[in-house]
Structure formats: structure tokens, C-alpha cells
Structure 1
């Protein structure tokens, strides 16, 4: 377990507070006009040239709220990045991604991922997610920790193959984990020579 693990619950609590603060901001904006309406009636006797001041005040308030919301979003993002760095130190981190090249011969439905004979990820794909992969997108399906040494990754792909037949294939790769992060790609591509999909696992160098 990482030495920073005791700080993770505090980070998650702080992140939740940040999100709650962001959600409350529209309510603050809604309360502002009501507070302005309760001002003393003596303000009505002010000179005509000051009539533009109340109109400008809500605009300034809106601008300030938008600035604070932007700060909250950036803070929440930084907290999530910090939590990820604490949970997955660089010397033990391993990440697995899925990509699809063309993909006309295979329609992906689901994926199962095993590391060292242990199921670490199982995912069902929607049509929109498959389209995103066809357009060149890459999905991270797993992020975890592995000690140094030799490991084995196995992926099972299920979907529709040529002629819309049920298709299930597996791919396996043994790799060496050193002191640096390890990034692995599960790649689905069409083989025009074999007229069927191919499934490949490679380690980024």
C-alpha cells in the first residue's frame, strides 16, 4: 500500500465538497435579485443617472460566479489528478488502452481483461462508443499497480464478425514490468488478406 494512502479519503471528501459548492452557485445567483429587491425605498429617489448601476450589478455578479465556477472545476480536476498520482505511483503503474483500426470486419460488443489470470476489467460497449473508436479514439479500460517482474495480460473480445456472425477471440502477451510506468494497447484491426479481424496486444516503448 502507498505511504500516501491515508490521504486519499481526505482528497475524496475535499473533491466532493468542491462539487457541492459548484452545484450551489446557481442558487446563490437566484437569491441575489431577491436581496436587491428588499433594499430601502429611499433608493428610488436617487438621481436618474444612477439607474444604470442596479442593471450592471447583476452582470458583475454573474461574471464573478462564472469565474468562481471555473476555479472550482480546475480545482476538482487537479484533485483528481493528485489522487490518481497517489494511488498509482509511476514505479508501479500499468495502464491498458483499447483502439480500433478501421473495424469494418468486427463490431465490438464487450471486452474482458485479465492480468496474471485475474479479471481486472469487463466492459460493454454502446454503438456511440464503438463509433468513437472507429474515428480514432482510444479508451483506457484499466489503470492499476504491478510490481516489477514478468506478467501476463489476456484480453477477450466479443462481438459480430464477418457476415454478422457471433465472434469471440482472445489475445495474450507476456511482458516485463520495470521501474517505469507501463502502457499496453489492445488493438483491433482488419486483415484484408484474411478477410477477418485481428486482435493484437502491444506494449508502448
Structure 2
């Protein structure tokens, strides 16, 4: 009987130690996640300082009037981003979602943003539209909202830009 009790005691110690190790590992994982978030925040502040930051967001106004295929952005004649849309992303935009298309640094002054939209209209015709938006970058963060719409009766895509204050 004493041997069984000693055996149970000796088996319980490794299990308790394993439980302590699991707890320590969980604490270390939480600390790593906190440090990772802090590093990401610091990295964003260094890479994109608020005084020179430009962010462009995409929204879609019409419900299912336009099936978005791709969007390309050019800043001062240089390509800065392009995005091909999946069915899931299209659905998200149609339900009022907002997509961050671009974040970058830009000096103060006059600039030109060119937007190229490729989509299919409700009439199942392929369309490609280009829009140019000239704006002045002022000190501080600049956020532009790019809105896509395809109003009836022709369902031709319209691109509009609004400066978020």
C-alpha cells in the first residue's frame, strides 16, 4: 500500500510541473503578443508619420449594381497599389464595408491621384473607368475616400473622391 502511495506521489509531481510549464508558456505567449502589437504601432509611427501620411479608402455605394474586378491607384503618375477582388471582398463592399487601399508618405503640396476601376455592370458588360483627382496635401494626416457607384438606368460606374476631415 505504501508503495502505491509513493508511486502516485511520484507521478503527481511531473503532472503538476507540466501544468506549471503550460501556464508559463501561456504567459510568455501573451507577453510576445503584447510586444508584437507595440512594435507594430511603433513601426507604423516611424514608417508613416502623421505629418506626411496619406491614406486612401474604398467604399461602394450601389448594392450589387457593380461587380468590382480590380482597382489600381497611381500617385503623381507612379503606380502605388492594385487590388484584384474576390467574391468575398465584393460582398463585403456591397454590404457597406470599407477597404484601406493605400497608406504611404507624401510631402505637402499639390498632387494627383489617378484611379483605374475594372468591373462588370448589372447588364453584364465589362467596364473600365479612369478618374483623376488633384488635391493639396497639407500638414497632418490626409485621408481620401474613394466611392464607387453605378446608378440606374445605364449602370455606368462613377468614381468620386472625398477628403475625410
Pick which of 160-169 and 195-204 moved more.
Answer: 195-204
Instruction: State the partner residue of 2:99.
Output: 139
Instruction: State the partner residue of 2:45.
Output: 85
Which of 131, 148, 157 is equivalent to 1:171?
Answer: 131
Cα displacement (A) at 1:111: 0.8
Which of 95, 116, 128 is equivalent to 2:55?
Answer: 95
Pick which of 94-103 and 106-115 moved more.
Answer: 94-103
Counterparts of 2:18 and 2:102, CA distance in 1 = 46
Instruction: State the partner residue of 2:141.
Output: 181
Which of 22, 28, 42 is equivalent to 1:62?
Answer: 22
Cα displacement (A) at 1:82: 1.0
Cα displacement (A) at 1:56: 3.0
Instruction: State the partner residue of 1:73.
Output: 33
Structure with bigger strand share is: 2
Which of 89, 112, 118 is equivalent to 1:129?
Answer: 89
> Which blocks of at least 5 consecutive residues in structure 2 are unaligned?
none
Structure with bigger helix share is: 1
> Which blocks of at least 5 consecutive residues in structure 1 are unaligned?
1-43
Residue 199 (str. 1) matches residue 159 (str. 2): yes
Counterparts of 1:194 and 1:74, CA distance in 2 = 51
Counterparts of 1:203 and 1:134, CA distance in 2 = 21
**What is the TM-score of this pair, normalised by structure 1?**
0.70
Task: Provide, for residues 150-194 of structure 1, a one-character-per-residue CA deviation record: whole Å limited to 9, x for no partner.
Answer: 111111100111221111112222111111110011111342465
**For residues 155-166 of structure 1, what are the structure 2 equivalents within 5 Å?**
155-166=115-126
Q: How many residues align?
A: 163
